Chains A and B, each alone.
Chain A
Amino acid sequence: MSRVRTPLLAFAPIPVGLLLLLLGHARDPLALHLAQSISSPSGAMPLGTDPLGRDVLARLLVASGAALIGLYLSLGVSTIIGVTGGSLMGWTAGSWFDKLGLFVIDTVFVIPTLLVLLALFTSLEPSTLRTYLALGVVGAAGPARVTRNELARLRQSPVAIAQRALGFSTARLLLVSLLPLSASAAVRSMTTYVPELLGYEVGLGFFGLGTPPPTPSLGRMLYDGLNQIHVAWWLWLGPAVTAILIGVLLRSVLLAVSAGDRKAA
């Protein structure tokens, strides 16, 4: 069995996110300067200030660092739930468990997921941890479906038949032979859903249900920017550009991981 080599880029979001958080907190994202409410970018405040006179650059750094780390961990949760659930579904393809799983996955894809998340956090008290945990659970639908289909196919493959004939246990067959073969497809499928997960994060914040204030979040910064759109361009431009950059970075990370997997397999 060849060693799965994961490229360094795969771990990049954690140090990058921590660095952003550190830089942001060094500038103090919460300090109020009510005298300088909504002032345009200057030397001391490179991205200007918001209606409460807080430093937009500091808030942007903290919000993007948190989003980067949070979404990266959400993707981890999605992988664990998706691959575990999907492989059980694929292994028992056609069973009631498989049917129930497919039903849940279909529901997630068809119903506007952001609405469901909004409903969830209207009822439960929003928190940062709960936000990313919920995103991780919702994001599991994609990898679960791919893993399920891959395993349902691989179960009948010559590899599986040969190994069963050799007397290998089901656990060994599943964990050592078949899962690595389907992992790359599962990770690649997540590259499609990363933008949507980021969209849910921004959407929850936009509706005021993501990370609770006063801690900054990209979505809430965009909402505040929308309310001042004809007054202050610096309030919405930064968060909008940053959201796009985070999406691109997370996607490249996933592409690098799945490419590394394919080379090893």
Chain B
Amino acid sequence: MIAAVITATFVLFYVLPGDAARVALGPSASEAAVAELRRSMGLDASVATRAWRYAAGLLRGDLGHSLISGRGVAALLAERFSVTAKVAALGSVFSLAGSYALVLAAHVFGWRLPARWAQAGTLLPSFAVSLGVALALLVVAPGLRFGGSGALESVAIPAFVASLSATAMLTTVLLGVCDAIASADFVRSLRAQGFGRLAVFHGGVLRAASPSWLTAWANQVSIVLVGTLVVEIAFSIPGAGALLLSAVEQRDFPVVGGIVVVNAVFFTVLWTVVTGVLRQIDPRVVSGE
């Protein structure tokens, strides 16, 4: 999967743009300047040579250089993603914890209203939810511009906003599975043996539902990440969101390409780990079934 995405990125950013140098410098740049940039980008070499250079660079951890600032993409990403990764990781944990709490309330204690709201929340685009809640917070509390101070609330509040959609989706999935197996034989026999409601939930229902929960979570991490990028822009946090926004506006191909490659690698690794864990929980799980 990683190889496929890297190949696609190479084609997209290094082969497809008719003339990346011309696009980067704009239509008013002189022909000499374009030729100069083309040479420094290595665009005058053949496709095969460039593919080889690109692949060799990736293996050394070299993602190329920004067309705008000239800085190494790898260093740039490391700097910006260190902020973003914290928020997104905390957001992913929030979504797990939040869905657990909501399902516990709904399934065990019969307090279903919050879970209903979460189910309704899955009707909304996650992008719009993150952005909308961030906007609403900014209106209510105009001082919420964190500027990457690193303080606890500057990580926790954005993480909470970015996690909302994922929490809603995970709650819907988990509650659906829990309710479906609530009348299964093994659950009823656990009850009959005198186990309390909490014990049955944790020892039986939640364990049986955990493969679906974990699969949904792995799919939602990318939603949390995109939410984080948006929330960062809204709260003026100098993370990967701001980097992406400026790179896209300035057509800084190496930076956008670097962001895509790094994310492809990360999410492929995450997916591989989750699939492995799923096999441990339930050996019957085979991908695609």
**Contact surface of A with B, Cβ cutoff 8 Å:** 102-103, 106-107, 109-116, 118-120, 122-124, 192, 195-200, 202-203, 206-209, 222, 225-226, 229-230, 233, 236, 240, 243-244, 247-248, 251
Nearest-neighbour CB distance to chain A for B38, whole angstroms, equals 16
Q: Contacting chain A: which of B42-50, B58-66, B117-125?
A: B117-125
Q: Identify the 8 closest CB pairs spanning chains A and B, nearest first.
A: A199-B125, A199-B127, A112-B222, A195-B125, A203-B127, A119-B260, A198-B125, A110-B271
* CB contact under 8 A between A229 and B135, given known A106-B271, A199-B127: yes
**Chain A residue at minimum C-beta to C-beta distance from B131:** A222
Given A112-B263, A240-B135, A123 contacting B13 (CB threshold 8 A): yes
- Report how far A119 CA is from B259 CA in the complex, Å: 9
In this complex, how many residues of chain B approach chain A with their Cβ under 8 Å: the count is: 49
Q: Which of the residues A103, A202, A251 comes within 8 Å of B127, measured between beta carbons?
A: A202
Q: Which of A118, A124, A208 contacts B256 (CB 8 A)?
A: A118
Q: Which residues of B contact A (CB under 8 A)?
A: 1, 4-5, 9, 12-13, 16-17, 122-128, 131-132, 135, 138-139, 142, 218-219, 222-223, 225-226, 230, 233-234, 244-245, 247-249, 251, 253, 256-257, 259-260, 263-264, 267-268, 270-271, 287-288
Q: Tell me the smallest distance from the CB of B268 to a CB of chain A, in Å.
A: 7
Q: Check if A226 sits within 8 Å of B135, measured CB to CB.
A: yes
> Across the interface, do A226 and B253 meet the contact criterion of CB distance under 8 Å?
no
* Cross-chain pairs A/B with CB under 8 angstroms, 5 sampled: A110-B222, A119-B257, A122-B251, A207-B249, A229-B138
The residue of chain A having its C-beta at the shortest distance from the C-beta of B9 within the complex is: A119
Among the listed B124, B127, B218, B267, which residue makes an inter-chain contact with A200, where contact means beta carbons less than 8 Å apart?
A: B127
A196 and B126 within 8 A (CB): yes
Given known pairs A103-B1, A199-B126, the reply for A110 and B218 (CB within 8 Å) is yes
Q: Known: A112-B226, A229-B139. Contact between A247 and B125, CB under 8 A? A: yes
Contact of A113 among B17, B124, B222 (CB under 8 A): B222
| Chain B CB within 10 A, most for which of A103, A111, A199, A207 | A199
Please give me the residue from chain B that is nearest to A233 by CB atom.
B139
Closest B residue to A208 by beta carbon equals B249
Contact in complex: B248, A115 (CB < 8 Å): no
Residues of the A chain whose Cβ atoms lie less than 8 Å from the Cβ of B233: 226
Q: A112-B222, A195-B124, A240-B128 are in contact. Are A208 and B271 (CB under 8 A)?
A: no
Q: How far is the CA of A240 from the CA of B132 in the complex (A)?
A: 7
Closest CB in chain A relative to B289 CB, distance in Å: 9
Which residues from B are CB-within-8-Å of A207? 244-245, 248-249
| C-alpha spacing A103/B233, complex, angstroms | 33
Contacting pair A118 B125 (CB below 8 A)? no
Which of B5, B13, B124, B131 gathers most chain A CB within 10 Å?
A: B131
Point out the residue from A118, A202, A222, A248 that lies within 8 Å of B123, measured CB to CB. A248
Q: State which of B251, B263, B268 has its C-beta within 8 Å of the C-beta of A115.
A: B263
Chain A contacts for B264, CB-based, 8 A: 111
How distant is the Cα of A156 from the Cα of B226 in the complex, in angstroms? 41
Are B128 and A123 touching (Cβ within 8 A)? no
> Given A106-B271, A115-B263 in contact, is the A203-B248 Cβ separation under 8 Å?
no
Minimum CB distance partner of A209 in chain B = B248
Known: A120-B12, A123-B13, A207-B244. A112 touches B126 (CB 8 A): no
Q: How far is the CB of A150 from chain B (nearest CB, A)?
A: 13
Q: Which residue of A lies closest to B136 (CB)?
A: A240
